[in-house]
């Protein structure tokens, strides 16, 4: 995250926090809170989710999202969608209104349209900053053949976890994936147990970072299992980052929350924007806490 983007990231996560908190404050479910928080982040072009996402090799936005309910283990996911402004909204509809769990590409868009979601044009999701970023990347790659997922490429996937008054937790993750990805490539973010997981008996987890290593390690579930075994979310989050680095030289970040309200935030990248609110405190930052 370059210095000149720090302010926008902090503002973005604070706005998302406020939207989620409004739901929780009036006694609403964690599931609604995280959906509203992620919608704010998808709408904010600072992040790699919704409009303003990284472009794939063809210059298109291709989005993935997952939402999961820790109380029931119900989940809804979409992958490789190109005409949804807020993939998390459709993921939520899948969770609530479909016997299925996961839809991809045109089938996901058809499900969305059939359930009252207005489709947009892919161009509506593309912003000039990302057209330029892709152009520079492809020019540079042609010249130097640099590594596709070099650690110096930023990751801006968004995610949220929440605990409500009824003691239920939930998690959601939404992304445009990685810059210059091949069309049809799916990362960790929308895969159950990889980029997102929620179970009241263990933890709600959302990850960001280089998706291929994260999915090979099924990292969100790996982390939730450690919480279920009796470890603190704070410890499990840090351990997950150590495991990611040591096992596959991966990099990323993670947020973890259990049904007792204990939480962990960790990343092995230099920065990751985060924000947290409880009844007694509110905080946000970009460095490790
Ligand atoms: N994890 C995402 C992916 O690989 C990218 C990110 O977190 O920014 O698709």
Q: What is the pLDDT of residue 2?
A: 86
Q: Is 77 helix (H, G, I), strand (E, B) or coil?
A: strand
Hey, whose CA ends up nearest to atom 1 of ligand 1? 211
Q: What is the pLDDT of residue 47?
A: 95
How many angstroms separate the alpha carbon of residue 281 from the centre of ligand 1?
29
Q: What is the pLDDT of residue 155?
A: 78
- Is ligand 1 within 6 A of the CB of residue 156? yes
Predicted TM-score (pTM) of the model is 0.96
CA separation (Å) from 150 to 9, 75, 155, 178, 207? 22, 31, 11, 11, 18
- Is ligand 1 within 6 A of the CB of residue 190? no
How many angstroms separate the alpha carbon of residue 165 from the centre of ligand 1?
31
Please say if 178 is a catalytic residue: no
CA atoms of 34 and 171, how far apart (whole Å): 7
The ligand 1 atom at the shortest distance from the C-alpha of residue 208 is 7
Give strand pairing partners of 64.
Answer: 175
Looking up tokens 């868009």 gives: 109
Q: What is the pLDDT of residue 18?
A: 98
- Write down how long the chain is: 289
Q: Are strands 274-277 and 102-104 parallel, antiparallel or unpaired?
A: unpaired
The answer to whether 94 and 103 are in contact (CB under 8 A) is yes
Query: Which residues of the chain carry a pLDDT beneath 70?
Result: 143-153, 288-289
The answer to whether 127 and 45 are in contact (CB under 8 A) is yes
Q: What is the pLDDT of residue 146?
A: 52
- Is ligand 1 within 6 A of the CB of residue 188? yes
Q: What is the pLDDT of residue 152?
A: 56
- List the 252-257 sheet strands across, edge first: 196-198, 204-209, 252-257, 263-267
CA separation (Å) from 173 to 39, 138, 193, 280? 10, 27, 11, 26
């Amino acid at each position: 995250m370059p210095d000149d983007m720090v302010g926008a990231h902090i503002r973005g996560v604070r706005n998302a926090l406020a939207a989620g908190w409004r739901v929780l404050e009036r006694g609403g479910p964690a599931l609604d809170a995280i959906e509203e928080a992620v919608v704010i982040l998808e709408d904010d072009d600072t992040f790699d989710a919704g409009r303003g996402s990284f472009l794939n090799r063809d210059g298109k936005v291709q989005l993935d999202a997952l939402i999961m309910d820790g109380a029931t283990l119900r989940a809804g996911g979409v992958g490789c969608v190109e005409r949804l402004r807020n993939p998390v909204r459709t993921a939520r509809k899948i969770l609530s209104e479909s016997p299925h769990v996961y839809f991809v590409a045109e089938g996901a868009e058809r499900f969305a349209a059939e359930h009252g979601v207005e489709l947009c044009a892919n161009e509506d999701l593309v912003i000039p900053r990302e057209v330029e970023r892709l152009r520079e990347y492809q020019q540079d790659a042609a010249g130097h053949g640099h590594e596709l997922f070099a650690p110096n490429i930023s990751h801006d996937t968004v995610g949220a976890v929440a605990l409500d008054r009824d003691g239920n937790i939930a998690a959601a993750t939404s992304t445009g994936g990685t810059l210059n990805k091949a069309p049809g490539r799916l990362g960790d973010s929308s895969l159950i147990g990889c980029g997102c997981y929620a179970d009241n008996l263990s933890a709600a987890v959302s990850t960001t970072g280089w998706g291929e290593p994260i999915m090979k390690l099924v990292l969100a579930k790996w982390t939730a299992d450690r919480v279920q075994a009796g470890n603190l979310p704070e410890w499990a989050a840090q351990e997950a980052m150590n495991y990611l680095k040591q096992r596959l030289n991966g990099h990323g970040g993670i947020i973890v929350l259990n049904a007792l309200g204990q939480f962990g935030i960790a990343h092995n990248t230099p920065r990751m924007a985060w924000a947290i609110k409880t009844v007694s405190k509110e905080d946000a930052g970009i460095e490790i806490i």
